[in-house]
Chain A
Amino acid sequence: MKKIKMPSAGARFFAAVCALILTACLTGTLASLLGVQILTSRDLHEQAALADDVVDLQMETIREKIGGLAEKDHFSPEDILPLVTREKVEQLDREMVGWWMDALEKGRMAERPEFDLRGARDALLADQAFLSELDEMTISITADRIVRDAQTAIRGSAVQYRDTLVEAGLKRVRDHISLSQIMDALKRVPLAGAMSCVLAAGVIALLMSRRILTAGQYIGGAFAAAGLLCILLWILVRSLNLQGMIAEASLALSLQTAHLRGRLNLEVFGTAAVLLLLGAAMMVPARKEYAKYAK
């Protein structure tokens, strides 16, 4: 067997330093990719908002709230509830996701979506029980108020966060800095991370000179280490128990968080598994090259 010279101690030391940098860059790139996906993927948030159990809970909340309004203002819930179909509620959910994604991504503050309750006013004005409780002067004003209250209740079931507060916060931020520029810069972070990874891996390959399989030991090691770190960081995020904390304030939002986490679970563990496998695939051939080194 042809013997080749072992890389010098200095080359191995610098390769180890570069492998540490590569590990950090790879983990950072993956974390930033995940962050960008959470901030920009409409599909991800729509799936969470339109999950069957989330919409079921929403419909139940709407029925309860309209029932409460009906009891207070002496009208039949059936004046309004037939207008609140599952399809329309899902449409509102979609529009709300679009509204805040637009606000975040493009810095554009469009009008907040409203639930379409056309016909509710006429149904109320035809409700004898409702009419008998009011004098002619207040009928119209009360009907308008009920429709507004019902719209607010329905929107509240679709948006379990204070949208007015979020809107005010976004406007405040937008007054000082351009949100779209920040989002554009954020989207470039994974690319910058990937370029740093290529650079670090290139330096390792150069340091190992013609012993390219040994370079695989360091590069593969960094890939597998990044996979291990991804799993560790994800477990840490899960241990924060965000879902439990949100559940104390809103069950529907906590359900959405669970769906979001479920989908990201697959991506994080899948990516970690790919990194571990790639790492192993690069490290195995290094053993053969090690055997050729002159003792």
Chain B
Amino acid sequence: MWLTPVLLALPFAAAVGYAVARYGGRIQNLIQVAIKLVVTK
């Protein structure tokens, strides 16, 4: 019974994990560029 939440969360966690593995680097680069563009020294 206590496994129900884990089983329900698993597909979403897997999807997020996949998205992070696939696009995480690109998202981080985009954020870095945006910060460099907008933030001043």
Contact = CB atoms under 8 A, between A and B. Distances in A.
Contact of B12 (A24, A156, A249): A24
Interface of B: 1-2, 4-9, 11-13, 16, 20, 27-28, 31-32, 35-41
Interface stretch (A73-81, A117-125, A226-234): A226-234
A276 B27 CA distance: 30
B31 A245 contact: yes
Contacts of A29: none
B40 A225 contact: no
**A: contact size bracket:** 35 or more
A113 to B, nearest CB: 17
Contacts, number: 85
A217 B7 CA distance: 13
Given A20-B11, A27-B12, A240-B28, A225 B37 contact: no
A1 interface: no
A165 B1 contact: no
Given A24-B12, A286-B1, A287-B1, A165 B38 contact: yes
Contacts of B41: 249-250
B12 A245 contact: no
A10 B28 CA distance: 43
A193 interface: no
A122 B32 CA distance: 44
A96 B32 CA distance: 24
Listed residue (B13, B27, B40) with the most chain A CB atoms within 10 angstroms of its CB: B40
A146 interface: no
A233 to B, nearest CB: 7
Most buried by A among B1, B9, B31: B9
